[in-house]
Copies of this chain bind each other. A is one copy, B any other.
């Protein structure tokens, strides 16, 4: 009774560009929703088959030389997507390994936690840069695209959260580096990023 969400990502991507093959879908997903949603070939290809069997997509009649068999969304597919979009969203069980290691930081070898923090900041800086780049280019690249306002909103949340995480990370790193008032935690020299 519960269709895997992979199906809806595929249907959604097909409302953006149509037709698309499994290979194209993977790339399109990675380069658009990739920051907050991932799909692997092992999921995509079987899902394409089952979606086609149910009539939510149809194999595109194009150059079917066994290479890049593309699919198009059907009216039934759009209906199914629309229904799903209206359903309440669920927070799937959160899993943040960084936070876990930070939480148990007292048990870690000296310097390990600070190193993690440096690495987190590095990743966040890189992410933020990338997201802001997209934000600045998207309006021109997608001028007139009716999806654009929603994409910009999505981007906005990603940027807001990444920026907040980065600010926290830089603040906290200073805190870790400065000698603790209590003698319990020993000061740590900052590893080279």
Could you pull out 12 A-B pairs where Cβ atoms are within 8 angstroms? Answer: A15-B106, A33-B99, A37-B100, A85-B112, A89-B101, A89-B116, A103-B150, A106-B146, A106-B150, A160-B165, A161-B161, A161-B168
A97, B92: Cβ atoms closer than 8 Å: yes
Measured between alpha carbons, how far is A10 from B36 in the docked complex, in Å?
Answer: 28
- Contact indicator per residue, chain A 113-155, by CB within 8 Å of chain B (1) or not (0): 1001001100100000000000000000000001101110110
Residues of B within 8 A of A189 (CB): none
The reply to whether the CB of A179 lies closer than 8 angstroms to some CB of chain B is no
Q: Is the interface of A mostly helix, strand, loop or mixed?
A: helix
Residue among A96, A99, A104, A149 having the largest count of chain B Cβ atoms under 10 Å: A104
B167, A153: Cβ atoms closer than 8 Å: no
- Contact indicator per residue, chain A 63-75, by CB within 8 Å of chain B (1) or not (0): 0000000000000
Tally of this chain's copies: 2
The reply to whether the CB of A49 lies closer than 8 angstroms to some CB of chain B is no
Residues of B within 8 A of A78 (CB): 107
A104, B37: Cβ atoms closer than 8 Å: no
Within the complex, what minimum Cβ distance (angstroms) separates A58 from chain B?
A: 18
Residues of B within 8 A of A188 (CB): none
Residues of B within 8 A of A163 (CB): 164
Measured between alpha carbons, how far is A88 from B89 in the docked complex, in Å?
Answer: 32
A89, B85: Cβ atoms closer than 8 Å: no
Residues of B within 8 A of A90 (CB): 97
